[in-house]
Structure 1
Amino acid sequence: MLTELRLTGFGVVEEAALQLGPGLTALTGETGAGKTMIVAGLGQLLGARGDAGIVRRGSERALVQGRWQVPPSVVAQVEDLGGDVDDGQELVTQRQVSAQGRSRAIMGGAPVPVSALGQVLDQLATIHGQSEQQRLSTPERQREILDAWARPAELEGYRRDWAERRAAAAELESLVDQAMARAREIDMLRFGLEEITAAAPEPGEDDALASEATRLMDADDLRHLAGAAQKALSGDDDDFDVPSAVGLLGEARKAIAALAERDGLARELSQRVQEAQYLLDDVAVGVAGYVADLVADPARLEAVGQRRAQLAGLMRKYGPGLGDVIDWAARAAESLQRLEGSDGRIEELRARIAALDERLTAAALSVSADRRRASEQLSGLVETEMAALAMPHASLTFVLTPIEQGPHGADRIELMFTANPGSAPAPLGKVASGGELSRVRLALEVVLAGASEDHTFVFDEVDAGVGGAVGLEIGRRLQRLATTSQVIVVTHLAQVAAFADAHFVVAKASDGQVTTSDVRQLDDAQRPAELARMMGGSGESVAGVDHAMELWSAARR
């Protein structure tokens, strides 16, 4: 239940606050005073689109705040979204729209998406506005009305299966359409993998082969250079008189060792020359080994060249470097596995679609049966309501026509209406007058709303196009509905407002430049004057006030 609604800087409303309670609440006022702003403000809390146009001129933002008494199921949803519910049952919600058009929603003190705010509050309140009268003529809305009453047991499951089937069919179509392209890609990947696997490249192999080729091609030059180095280090085996670095350093080490025995200051020099001897010996052994390994091998040089050519061919096709070739092969193997599994996926999808088709057919039959049973009951209840609204001979029936299965079943639902017993029923939107359509809408809403207790229903101009005794019947039905739910009605009929438990009036004022609306609650002493004004008289006329008092007393009885 909505316990408070506050509007700030919203349209023509500068500041307004409504303290609301259970039962029937009426909002009245002169045409153009801003009554619909109250409904529009509540619509913002329920997720309606907000833009800069709703912000009052001169204001930085429009703000709508609502306080609600909520059930435990809603408390859990609010907490899941990060909000808090005061005392376990009072929820504060806000919707803000800036002068630049930016929108913000707050629920239980936590910022939430506007859609989330609307989804939660849609469980608590429903607005029936003027647009509903036009929507009532559409098959979509007529189906929604019937389903709201019938509540087909299999409908929710049907919709889930339909959505799954649609997704599966789209995936299947895509896989089948791409079959030829997929086959070409499989052949390309398989050829590339076979070529790379046959070559079996190793990481870094190209660099190693390049170094080996250089050594093999320059073997004579390298051997000459290495031989010269070896002779300088170790001497010439054919001419023992040629000095060597190892021999000369050995002589120096012996001389400095003798020097160190006589002079302690030379001991460090002795250690250093000994370390140099070890290092030079190691270098000499290394050079000798290098010379020994340098062998001219034309066969090996040819083999290295062929291998390098093979790897170069792979790199031209699959990557600038050998590492890129190896990475391509890994990715290609994964892609090939996925693509080769597509045929299995196609069969899997076909089997799943066949199973879903079976379930959908059975569920659609069940949904249709539930709709047909409920349509007769709903038509009877609505016709009873229409009779009380001065349409005693009116007939309203739901016609269900089988169609191809769709997202909501296999029925086309159409409301057929006739106001007179001698006339053949025809589509509601084509034959009902404005006043008749308004009463049909109210009859449907009263019947449907009566099935939902502890809910807030807002009726905006539900009495459009009617008056007199029919207005009294509208008031009675709203009053009856208000025994189980909170009802807020924006009305221009005194016959409806007289039945209200609480009465607010929206008054318009202007300073010559800016128009504002003020909302105030009437006490019992003030209500007769407002009812008299609504009946076309003067709130100060004794006769008018007396007539209003009589109407109000009758409504209370």
Structure 2
Amino acid sequence: MLSALRMTAFGVVDEAELELGPGLTALTGETGAGKTMIVSGLGHLLGSRGDAGIVRRGAERAVVEGRWEVPDDVAARVRELGGDAEDGELVTLRQVSAQGRSRAVVGGAGVPISALADVIGEIATIHGQSGQMRLSSPDRQRELLDAHAKPAQLERYRANFAERRAAAAELQELEQQSLARAREADMLRFGLDEIAAVAPQPGEDDALAAEQAKLMDLDELRSLAGTAHEALSGSETDYDAPSAVALAGEARKALTALAGRDEAAAALAGRAVELTMLAGELAADVAGYVDDLVADPLRLEAVGQRRGALAGLTRKYGTTVDEVLAWAESSAARLGELVGSDERIEVLRARIAELDAALAADAAAISAARRAAAEDLAEQVRSELAALAMPHAELRFDVTDAPIGPHGADRIELLFTANPGSEPAPLGKVASGGELSRVRLALEVVLADAGAHHTYVFDEVDAGVGGAVGLEIGRRLQRLAAHSQVIVVTHLAQVAAFADAHFVVAKESDGQVTTSGVRLLTDDQRAAELARMMGGASSSTKGIEHAQELLAQAAR
């Protein structure tokens, strides 16, 4: 239930606040006073499109705020959005800037406009001119019949249909790409087989390049190593040539003798001993290195061939062996996906067959439920229409077979005629605006859930009707308001008389700016307003008396 509505700088409304209660609330006022702005403000709380045109001239933004009493399931939905509905009270806000930017807040959390519409759409409905036009659409007519039939299989059917549609789309894509996948798989298998035949090892190309360079430069390496060995150990042909080992030995002897005479030189003697040992070890290692430098033409040829095989891979699959191995790893994974796609095709085909069978069975059950409910719903609506001064109205839901679709396998059309002897035809083609209003109200009264505590807003529900019919409309709104909150914008006193609370929208002008305001009427003020609405002066005795009689009649 909407417990309060506050609007700021919204169209002609500068500042307005309505404290609302359960039951039937009427909004009246002279033509052009701004009643439509109140409905438009409520529409913005239900997610309607906002633009800069609704912002009052000179204001930075238009703001509509609603305070709602919501059930536990709606409060839980608000918490999912990051908002709060403490003790079942929810505050929603819609703001539109003068530049046209829109903002929505639900329970203190900023949300997309669509989320606002989803939340409030569960607890409130606006019936205006657009609602009448929507009543003419097959989709809305199907929704109305389903609201009465309540097919038990419908939710499952819709879920299965959505799954089947997604599976069919995936299957179509996989089948269309089958040839391309086969080609890609063959290419990957060829590459993987080629790499497996060579069996490269991580870093192998760098290691072989270094080995090949060593084998090819063997003579130069031996010359350099020999020079180093001769400098360390001495020449085998020139016995007088100095060597590092011999010189280090002489230095050790001298420093050892020096240390025997001067303790301060002991450390120097120790380092000389270490140097002699290091020089000897280095000379031995260089000699070993020289001995290992043996020409191996066969190994050089083998290394060259192996590098050639690796080069064949690096030309195709990466600039290095490591990149080739990375390609092989990713390609093996991709090949698994491609092979799995073929398996997925079979899984999808089997699942689609299962879903087709389930959909056919559920569609048949849904059709049966709709056909069974169609006449009952039409009969109840016909009874309501008779009370709304349409005693000869004929209305029926025509349920015919149709291809399987998102909502079943039925084509549903609401057929109507207001005149006896006329063959019923599609509602949208033959019903006038006033007749559409009454059909819509009759359906709402019949379909209203006594436990729903919904908020209904009716605008132009009395369009094109007169006083006697207005009384019947008022009675039905009153009956609907027995278990739901009903807000009606009306120009008929016969409708407004049934209200539990009556607000009037009045405009004022200073010659330059027009402003509309909203005020709650007292009992005496209600009689004056009803007198005005019936075409008399609001202060005339006869008009007031007539209005009071109307209020008394509505109270009975």
Q: Does TM, normalized by the shorter one, top 0.5? A: yes
1:77-121 deviation per Cα after TM superposition (whole angstroms, max 9, x unaligned): 3233333333x2222222222222332222222333332232222
Aligned to 2:421: 422
Displacement of 1:451 in angstroms is 4.9
Amino acid at match of 2:188: L
Provide the C-alpha distance between the structure 2 equivalents of 1:437 and 1:268, rounded to a whole number of angstroms.
117
> Is residue 2:263 matched to residue 1:260?
no
Change (3 A) 1:515 1:285: farther
1:376/1:397 contact within 8 Å kept: yes
Displacement of 1:263 in angstroms is 1.1
1:183-206 deviation per Cα after TM superposition (whole angstroms, max 9, x unaligned): 000000000000111111111111
Sequence identity (%):
69
Displacement of 1:513 in angstroms is 2.6
Displacement of 1:137 in angstroms is 1.3
> Is residue 2:234 matched to residue 1:246?
no
Deviates more, 1:113-122 or 1:291-300: 113-122
Provide the C-alpha distance between the structure 1 equivalents of 2:459 and 2:282, rounded to a whole number of angstroms.
103
Within 5 Å, which residues of 2 pair with 1:309-388? 309-388=308-387
Q: SS where residue 472 of structure 1 aligns?
A: helix
Deviates more, 1:322-331 or 1:91-100: 91-100
Displacement of 1:328 in angstroms is 0.2
Aligned to 2:538: 539
Deviates more, 1:511-520 or 1:17-26: 511-520
1:94/1:107 contact within 8 Å kept: yes
Displacement of 1:374 in angstroms is 1.2
Provide the C-alpha distance between the structure 1 equivalents of 2:418 and 2:247, rounded to a whole number of angstroms.
131
Provide the C-alpha distance between the structure 1 equivalents of 2:12 and 2:151, rounded to a whole number of angstroms.
44
Within 5 Å, which residues of 2 pair with 1:125-274? 125-274=124-273
Provide the C-alpha distance between the structure 2 equivalents of 1:511 and 1:282, rounded to a whole number of angstroms.
112
2:437/2:460 contact within 8 Å kept: no
Amino acid at match of 2:48: A
TM-score (norm 2): 0.97
Deviates more, 1:327-336 or 1:240-249: 240-249
Provide the C-alpha distance between the structure 2 equivalents of 1:71 and 1:133, rounded to a whole number of angstroms.
28
Aligned to 1:19: 19
Provide the C-alpha distance between the structure 2 equivalents of 1:194 and 1:240, rounded to a whole number of angstroms.
63
Aligned to 1:285: 284
Provide the C-alpha distance between the structure 2 equivalents of 1:513 and 1:257, rounded to a whole number of angstroms.
118
Displacement of 1:318 in angstroms is 0.6
1:294-313 deviation per Cα after TM superposition (whole angstroms, max 9, x unaligned): 11111111111111111111
Displacement of 1:373 in angstroms is 1.1
Q: SS where residue 290 of structure 1 aligns?
A: helix
Displacement of 1:125 in angstroms is 1.1
Aligned to 1:82: 82
Within 5 Å, which residues of 2 pair with 1:303-314? 303-314=302-313
Amino acid at match of 1:537: G
2:16/2:517 contact within 8 Å kept: yes
1:47/1:117 contact within 8 Å kept: yes
> Is residue 2:56 matched to residue 1:56?
yes
1:17-54 deviation per Cα after TM superposition (whole angstroms, max 9, x unaligned): 00001110000111221112111211222222223222
Deviates more, 1:326-335 or 1:258-267: 258-267
Q: Which runs of 4+ in 1 moved over 4 A?
A: none
Equivalent residues, number: 556
Displacement of 1:238 in angstroms is 4.7
1:368/1:409 contact within 8 Å kept: yes
Provide the C-alpha distance between the structure 2 equivalents of 1:273 and 1:503, rounded to a whole number of angstroms.
116
1:450/1:481 contact within 8 Å kept: no
Displacement of 1:73 in angstroms is 2.4
Provide the C-alpha distance between the structure 1 equivalents of 2:265 and 2:100, rounded to a whole number of angstroms.
92
Aligned to 2:9: 9
Provide the C-alpha distance between the structure 2 equivalents of 1:68 and 1:233, rounded to a whole number of angstroms.
99
Provide the C-alpha distance between the structure 2 equivalents of 1:230 and 1:95, rounded to a whole number of angstroms.
92
Aligned to 1:458: 457
Provide the C-alpha distance between the structure 1 equivalents of 2:438 and 2:326, rounded to a whole number of angstroms.
74
> Is residue 2:501 matched to residue 1:508?
no
Q: For structure 1, which runs of at least 5 residues remain unmatched after alignment?
A: none
Within 5 Å, which residues of 2 pair with 1:414-493? 414-451=413-450, 453-493=452-492
> Is residue 2:72 matched to residue 1:72?
yes
1:362-385 deviation per Cα after TM superposition (whole angstroms, max 9, x unaligned): 010111111111111110110000
1:22/1:485 contact within 8 Å kept: yes
Provide the C-alpha distance between the structure 2 equivalents of 1:278 and 1:548, rounded to a whole number of angstroms.
128
Deviates more, 1:396-405 or 1:112-121: 112-121
1:149/1:448 contact within 8 Å kept: yes
Displacement of 1:12 in angstroms is 1.5
Q: For structure 2, which runs of at least 5 residues remain unmatched after alignment?
A: none
2:132/2:436 contact within 8 Å kept: yes
Provide the C-alpha distance between the structure 1 equivalents of 2:511 and 2:310, rounded to a whole number of angstroms.
90
Q: SS where residue 399 of structure 1 aligns?
A: strand
Provide the C-alpha distance between the structure 2 equivalents of 1:451 and 1:404, rounded to a whole number of angstroms.
35
Amino acid at match of 1:80: E
RMSD: 1.5
Deviates more, 1:532-541 or 1:225-234: 532-541
Provide the C-alpha distance between the structure 1 equivalents of 2:323 and 2:472, rounded to a whole number of angstroms.
83
Q: SS where residue 523 of structure 2 aligns?
A: coil
